[in-house]
Structure 1
């Protein structure tokens, strides 16, 4: 399985999934925490994540997902993998062997699909928030334009009334 590493977060996911394969998810959680701090310090944000999946790598566009949201989803992914590993390791020997591999592949696939869905939902939520903010700005601009129009109309009315009054005075 090829692993394209696009960012620090992507390396974290690849590491988590590789570690999960060998049942060392506690180390994966530590790597996630350490890397999360490094990513925040570097003010880095992934543009894509590649999640290894039994049926082929899943590449996810995360440009519209905030870094803190990315990290929450990765933590959920790590928890899902831990539960999946425990489920697949039927004999409890901390190794995936024999028929356990089929269950493990299913669990990893489920976790990767769930993470992809979470990223999509997060991107949609952030798009909605941006659209709402834009709409609010447009409403504010429209209100300002209406106020300026009303001021201009009032000024025109005042000028018209003044001109009419002047015409009437001259006419009398």
Structure 2
């Protein structure tokens, strides 16, 4: 066992786990943040997607020892203009993008990363960006419409400087 100091959703956490423990297990088992889901355990579905700094990461593949001082954000993190989870979640509701809902937290985190890197994405950029995440229920077209809807709403919001 090793002690790790993590910054998750803006809060410090100290945990004692084996260095090769996947970040997903730490989030779910130790920190009780259950938004990210275990889907395949192989980095092939994206249900476990979280953000590490500004990058979407499949947390089932990332050992906690590789996180270091980087900021981890999960779907449980609060929304803002720069982390637009509230807008995204409403868009997913409006488009009825969730059937079983298992993949949705990972989809929202991947879309959040998209908006942070490309604030006004094209439809092709949205498709390319969302491609690594799978929806086994087959609501991909609704998910893409939800991300497009959120992008359109966010484009209308005034941009404020970060404090």
- In the superposition, the TM-score normalised over structure 2's length comes to 0.29
User: Which structure's relative contact order is higher, taking Cα pairs within 8 Å and 6+ residues apart?
Assistant: 2
Per residue, is there more strand in 1 or in 2? 2
Which structure has the larger Rg?
1
Structure richer in helix, relative to its length: 1
